[in-house]
Amino acid sequence: MGKIFLVRHGETDWHLEHRILGRTDKSLNARGFEQGRRIAQRFAGQELAALYISPIQRCRETIVALAEQTGLEPVVVDGMMEVDFGEWDGRKSADIMTESPELLKNWLMKPSSMRIPGGENMTEVRDRVVEAMNWILPRHNTEQNILILSHGGPIRMVVCQVLGMDIDRMLRLEVDLASVTTLKFFGDSLDNRIGLSKLNDTSHLDLPECDPGDVLEEMRAREESQR
C-alpha cells in the first residue's frame, strides 16, 4: 500500500511572535531551516515518488533539503496553500481577542460558516484542498509513497475529510510545525479507501525546547476556558 506524508512547513519569526500567518510570504527563521534539514533526515532511505508543495515561500524553503536529497523537483499545487486569513493575517492573536472578541468566538465555534474579514471560510478551504488532493492521488499507483508539504489548515482539512470529521472541530487536531502526518491509501481519492496512520509526528525533530504554539489552537483553547 502507498503512503501519503503530509508535512507542515518550518518556523518563522511570526510564529514566535504569536501572529496569524496565512498568505503572507515570510521566510523561515534559523530554527525553521534546521527543521527542514531534520525533515530531510527523517525521509533518508524512504522511497518517494513525488514531492508536492504549497506555493508559499516558507514551504518552498522547508522542502529544499529534501528535494536536494531525493533529486525530485517539487510540484507546486496552489490548492494546498494556507488559509486566506484576510484582515487577520499578520495580526497578533492577543489583539484580535481584544478588538473582535465576538467575531473571533463565532469563528472558532463555527469556522465552516463564518468568513474571516476579507478572507476564506473553512468550507471553501476544505473544497479546494479536497480538489487538490483528488488531482494529486490519481497521478500515482497505490504502491507509491508521496509527500505533500503544506500548512496547518490544509493538513487539518485532509484529516477531517479522511475521518469524516466535522470541520468545525478541526482545531482539536494538533498539527505542529515541521510535523509529519501519515495516511495509507488504497484508492484514488480522499473518499476512497484512505486511512490515518499517524498524526502530528515530531519525533524526527529532537530540537531544544521552543514551542511557539499554534495561534489558532491557542485562541480556541482560551475561548473555551472562558465559557
Q: Which residues contact 210 (CB under 8 A, 6 or more apart)?
A: 31
- Unique residue bearing C-alpha cell 517539487: 74
Residue type, 56: I
Half-sphere exposure of 165 toward its Cβ, with a 13 Å CA cutoff?
16
Specify the pTM. 0.92
pLDDT at 7 > cutoff 60: yes
Q: Which residues contact 136 (CB under 8 A, 6 or more apart)?
A: 52, 77, 146, 148
- 50-72 exposure pattern, b = at least 16 Cβ within 10 A, e = fewer: bbbbbebebbbbbbebbbeebeb
pLDDT at 120 > cutoff 90: yes
Q: Is 35 helix (H, G, I), strand (E, B) or coil?
A: helix
Alpha helices in 137-183 (DSSP H): 152-163
Taking the chain, what is the end-to-end CA distance rounded to the nearest angstrom?
A: 45
pLDDT at 185 > cutoff 90: no
Percent of the chain having pLDDT more than 90?
Answer: 76
At 219 the pLDDT is 65
At 220 the pLDDT is 64
Provide the CATH number for the domain around residue 35: 3.40.50.1240
Q: What is the DSSP string of 46-57?
A: ---SEEEE-SSH
| Angle separating helix axes 101-109 and 215-225, nearest 10 degrees | 100
pLDDT band at 188 (very low <50, low <70, confident <90, very high): confident
pLDDT band at 221 (very low <50, low <70, confident <90, very high): low
C-alpha cell at 143: 504502491
Answer whether 113's CB lies under 8 Å from 122's CB.
Answer: no
Q: Which residues contact 81 (CB under 8 A, 6 or more apart)?
A: 23, 54, 55, 56, 150, 151, 154
At 194 the pLDDT is 87
What does pLDDT average to over the chain?
A: 91
Mean pLDDT, residues 21-33 taken together: 96
The DSSP bridge partners found for residue 181 are 6
Q: Which residues contact 172 (CB under 8 A, 6 or more apart)?
A: none
Mean pLDDT, residues 34-63 taken together: 97
Mean pLDDT, residues 213-227 taken together: 64
At 158 the pLDDT is 97
At 79 the pLDDT is 98
pLDDT at 212 > cutoff 70: no
Report the number of distinct structural domains present in the chain.
1
For 115, the domain range is 2-225
At 211 the pLDDT is 57
